Amino acid sequence: MRRRDELIGEIEKAEALLSHLEGEQEQARARVAALREELAFRGGLSPGFVSTCRPLRRSRCPGAPRRKSGCFGSSSAVVQMSSRLGS
């Protein structure tokens, strides 16, 4: 039972980290959009302008916790992810 509790705790920490990162990602997207809008408004986009960063992709994982389990595929994937996060 102890290992089960540890795994649940690690999953909760990883989900909290994902939630935090998703929030930061949304803030960054909004900032990039505002900056691009301002640059376009000021006529700063030259015909050859190319962004140096890759286009941002939305996560394929759904937001609701009960649906997130499908993103990992199996419990072994969760264990592997937990070990990568430092458990």
Model confidence pLDDT, tens digit, residues 29-68: 999 999 988 888 888 766 566 566 665 566 555 555 555 5
Model confidence pLDDT, tens digit, residues 63-80: 555 555 555 554 455 555
Side chain identity, residue 13:
K
User: What is the per-residue pLDDT for 87?
Assistant: 44
Model confidence pLDDT, tens digit, residues 5-19: 999 999 999 999 999
